[in-house]
Chains A and B, each alone.
Chain A
Amino acid sequence: MSQSRKITYREALKEAIREELLNDERVFLMGEDVGRYGGAFAVSKGLLQEFGEERIMDVPLSESGFVGAGIGAAIAGMKPIVEVMTVNFGLLPMDQLVNTAATMLHMSGGQINVPVVVRMSCGIGKQLAAQHSHSWEPFYAHVPGLIVLSVGTHEDARWLLHTALQSPDPVVIFEYTSMLNMEGELSEDPAEVDITKAKVRREGRDISIITYGAAVYKCLEAAEDLAAQGIEAEVVDLRVLRPLDDATFIASVTKTHRALIVEDAWRSVSVSSEVSARINEKAFYELDASVQRICGAEVPIPYPLHLEDASVPQKKDIVEAVIKMIRP
């Protein structure tokens, strides 16, 4: 039996970065305030002291510039981990990611890979108001050529980065501000993290709850509540938002015949829209109820705490939605 220990989501992220820095000298971390300040969310605290300025690089407030620099370093043979402090600034380097990183392999006739890893903190933090509470995973998940990952668990926080760095193609990783202080159990064994596969986090027979990111734990908690009421929900953590691993969630829906998709992002033209469409395309004759979704409210995320809570799916909403689907 493997040992497990308690660890925060923040610590897990940091251990992952530190391990990569130790194991591969081509790996370096660049981003705003990652060095002397220790990272806006203290994820890289102490790393500058341990690894020095060449490997932990503070950059100017110019997302387009330093993400472009990271892409260049990757093309030149390095393995950069570029931290964009939060997704809220993620529109500024989007041109670099969409027009350069995602297309380079194609434009170079297959000659040039871009093995860059870009990390962004994402989602609702705590009362950061409309401009700093974005869930923009769907923007990036729209772009062919990018691999888009979402870190919904401690396990992925600790072990996903290593696999991402093995990818020859650009990877965008979304981490969740609201989960940084959350403690979780982590096995000492390195988990096999396959960044082409979604993961069933809980098995169940009655309904598939398909989700990702900050909603994963909420769905798991909801599944516990539902189990007490005799409903066995299967929770599928998408983990890979592009390219979507539809085989895993289609298999789940084929087993349970019902699907509820839960995400924090705005409802329209979202990851859940795509998942729902694929279920209809590939598992229509398995459905015993229409596919349902719970998503973020389509408003600028409000500042007051109770309104902020109301703007994204909560455990109670998930439980209610499932019960309504199973016992209409």
Chain B
Amino acid sequence: MNPFSLRGSLRLRLLVSTLFWIILSIIVAGWGLGKLFHQHVEAQFVAELKNHLDQLTAQLLLNEQNQPQLKIAPSDPRLNKPLSGLYWQIGQLDNTNHPEEKVLLRSRSLWDETLSVPTDILADGEIHQHRIDGPHARDPIRHPPVLEISQEQIDHPLPRREGTAWLTALDQLARFQRIFHLKAPAQDAGVVLRVLERSVTIHSHTLRLMVAADESQMAEPVMNFKGQLWLALVILGAGLTLAALMQVMIGLAPLKSLHAALGRVRNGDTQKMEGTFPSEIMPLVNEFNSVLVQNAAVVERARTQAGNLAHALKTPLSVLANAANSPQKKEDKLAHLVLAQVNAVRKQADYHLSRAQAAASVLLPGMRTPVKAVVQGLVRVMQRVYAERNLEFELFPVDEALAFRGEEQDLQEMLGNLIDNASKWATSRIEIQVECILGKLSVRIDDDGRGIAEKERVHLIKRGVRADEKVPGTGLGLAIVEDLANMYGGELSLKKSHLGGLSASLTLPVA
């Protein structure tokens, strides 16, 4: 499985889901904060306008002609700078039924423009907000307003003045009225003004006070803030991503050690999973270990039961065999039958008991048996058992670290049978060589006996076949070795030895 596919990788899953939420949160936070700041700036903007409006209202009075007049002109320098973006205007509503505005006073900054706000009727002192298209609010020096001069014919009848040609020409001229008009440059047409208006009624004159400012003034701090905000959010996002990466790495690190611990069990380095794991993983490890212990207990129980069965079966068999074998019964047919049957039962029991044992043990992980100690132990046993025959056992040097991936008892059974077999047939010398060849444990046992003919060798491995009845033994030895070796994925082969006798080679998995 590809370790980097989303389905296959826990790391990728965690990273992708975390990154998704980080990015989403940052976008939402950026948008939300920008919005909040915009609202805040707008509130300030409106508050400032209101301040100006209040000032204007406070300075307003009517002169004798009932014309509005300001006691002191508003002080903000922007109000005197043409098209600065801050304006005020005082108008009058002529008729409440057909309101038609007449501009009475306006700020210098408005230049030739007026603030044309839709007329609405307000209660006295009430403030209303409008957004209107306004004159451009740029720096008039850098973007000077365009001066438009248009002429139009004044369409009123000329007085007839006969004989005064120059006057006629003058009249002709007078027929045109020049209109000077400052217009904002075309590209600045999009300027939007925020207007605060308030109706004030003095001596039954309803005046319309307006203060307006270019909304683009708000945009600048908002843009600045947003620029910094997004920069900060990108840095935050990068930090969070890094944190997520580290979290995933650190968080998933125990899985790596879990893997290693499992590997050690599989290789047989340890019998159970060792090490301390996080509290989320520890229960798994404990469960796994208890399964291992349980398995081992099952195998042990199977072994014990096989042992008990063997004991229970073979002691009565011994009694039967001894009774049938007494010298007085040499000619007794029944005694012969009993002896033969006892022998048959024994063979069957031995064969099936060892198979049962092997079948159970192969299932166990975590098995590792150093070979050297087992071989040395077996050689000592053979030396003692065959002490009479003065056999020479030559065990070539064995690497201490070389280990069999499997049960000690099974290795003892296989090697024991092979060395015992060699000892039975050897004249004087047995050679044992244990090596690791091509990643496999290889054990070769040679004897200097009379050997076995090639066609007999295959036959010999078959269950219960004995090459010669002269040497005590069940004849099962090689068959059991073959079975056990096969169960471990190894194999047994027999060939002629350089010593003259039989050479038995066993290959087994190495741990």
A binds B: no
Interface of B with A (CB < 8 Å)? Answer: none
